[in-house]
A and B are shown apart, each in its own frame.
Chain A
Amino acid sequence: QKEVEQNSGPLSVPEGAIASLNCTYSDRVSQSFFWYRQYSGKSPELIMSIYSNGDKEDGRFTAQLNKASQYVSLLIRDSQPSDSATYLCAVRVGMLTFGGGTRLMVKP
């Protein structure tokens, strides 16, 4: 069983809609959670980090963490075509472990 699971997608949403990306993890002692965005052929770049249960908002992005259910999600409001990328969920238990990523496509 993979330690960090993401639906590979593609997830297709129309411009202006809310994109919802989900991630589940297996290790209950995980402490730190990150969302990275990766454009095709480029390196991952950090979007959000979250450490405690609840929501964390930064501009159009909201990260949600539920440690009891072992999932973390990323909401992107008012999605733009420039948000089209692969989104990587990463969980730290000692090492940083990445999920396989979800490809998001925002259609104009």
Chain B
Amino acid sequence: EAQVTQNPRYLITVTGKKLTVTCSQNMNHEYMSWYRQDPGLGLRQIYYSMNVEVTDKGDVPEGYKVSRKEKRNFPLILESPSPNQTSLYFCASSPGTAETQYFGPGTRLLVL
């Protein structure tokens, strides 16, 4: 089944404790991205990747890191999480930049 998977789905952590949210797709898509969704602010892009070893900042990259060592994986790293990073995070992939994106199930993060 073609899908985008994210782990974990739910995470409660404390300020400053490094965490990684994994994202994997099995559709051989070149383009992957991370979004955060907050009430009243909609979906905002954090980082995106056009291909392996090619990443770029989106609208709200501060406090986040990503890597794209393999085509299928695009982890999101929070080196030192803060409470303002409490949000719902979505990973998405698409065959190319012009095509529609397929979203993962989301990761709900709470930073205390």
Contacts and interface: CB of A to CB of B under 8 A. Distances in A.
B75 interface: no
Contacts of A34: 100
A104 interface: no
From B40, B43, B90, B103, residue with most partner A Cβ within 10 Å: B43
Interface residues of A, number: 21
A46 B45 contact: no
A42 B6 CA distance: 13
B98 A8 contact: no
Contacts of A44: 43, 90, 103
A17 interface: no
Given A88-B43, A101-B42, A96 B101 contact: yes
B81 interface: no
A24 to B, nearest CB: 14
Nearest to A49: B100
Nearest to A101: B42
Interface of A: 8, 31-32, 34, 41-46, 49, 88, 92, 94-101
Please name the 8 residue pairs, one residue from A and one from B, whose CB atoms are nearest each other, closest first: A100-B42, A43-B103, A98-B43, A46-B100, A98-B42, A44-B103, A43-B106, A43-B105
